Amino acid sequence: MRVSAVLESSERRLPRLRLSAMSTIVSRLDIVQIFCDVDDFCNQWENLWQKVPQLPSTKRERRSKSKMHLSEVMTIANAFHGSGYKTFKEFYTLHVLQSWRGAFPNLVSYTRFVELMPWCLMLLCCFLHTRTGEVTGISFIDSTPIDVCHNCRAQAHKVFKGLVKWGKNSVGWHF
């Protein structure tokens, strides 16, 4: 599918989304632009994938066809991270199924969508890798402590011996 056809079809499929007022952070996302970028990437990926010889499939390998295209699954998965919802289930059931039905006419149930997500994981990682910015040398670090074991068993702990040590944060001491 050509880029112009994707733009035309996405504008036909997503007109209500621009006009509706959403109450969450998702309203600031331009879903049409995200979908077009993801769909262009998927089309390029499929063209490259067909040029490279593939290993033969096993007889037991079976993947049922889905009503949703992988680019639609990737767009929704990508939009979740900017949505402000704490869980994906809440985002999908309360927001996507109710507000985006006009944008994605072939929406599937939550359980089916969760089954489709592993099929797009590798492609989503590749897409996000192409969207990384320039490295500036500034990094953000998550300082969440990871307890290796309970404090009372720290003396007997042997798995990470030599790698871990006692540390203190605002909550208390951790090993």
The per-residue b/e assignment along 117-142, b for 16 or more CB within 10 angstroms, e otherwise, is: eeebeebbeebeeeeeeeeeeeeeee
Identify the pLDDT of residue 163.
Answer: 82
SS3 for the chain, per residue?
A: CCHHHHHHHHHHHCHHHHHCCCCCHHHHCCHHHHHHHHHHHHHHHHHHHHHCCCCCCCCCCCCCCCCCCHHHHHHHHHHHHCCCCCCHHHHHHHHHHHHCCCCCCCCCCHHHHHHHHHHHHHHHHHHHHHCCCCCCCCCCCCCCCCCCCCHHHHHHCCCCCCCCCCEECCCCEEC
Q: What is the pLDDT of residues 108-128, one digit of tens each?
A: 999 999 999 998 999 999 998
Q: What is the pLDDT of residues 4-18, one digit of tens each?
A: 344 444 444 443 433
In this model, does residue 40 exceed pLDDT 90?
yes
| pLDDT-based confidence at residue 32 (cuts at 50, 70, 90) | confident
Identify the pLDDT of residue 157.
Answer: 78
Domain boundaries of the chain, sorted by first residue: 3-52+65-130
Closest CA relative to residue 80, chosen from 1, 119, 26: 26
Q: Which residues contact 13 (CB under 8 A, 6 or more apart)?
A: 102, 103, 104, 105
Please count the other Cβ atoms lying within 10 Å of the Cβ belonging to residue 32.
18
Query: Looking at residues 138-146, what average pLDDT do you find?
Result: 73
Q: What is the pLDDT of residues 77-91, one digit of tens each?
A: 999 988 888 999 999
The one-letter amino acid code at 44 reads Q
Q: What is the mean pLDDT of the chain?
A: 77
Identify the pLDDT of residue 144.
Answer: 72
Q: What is the pLDDT of residues 57-70, one digit of tens each?
A: 666 655 567 889 99
In this model, does residue 107 exceed pLDDT 90?
yes
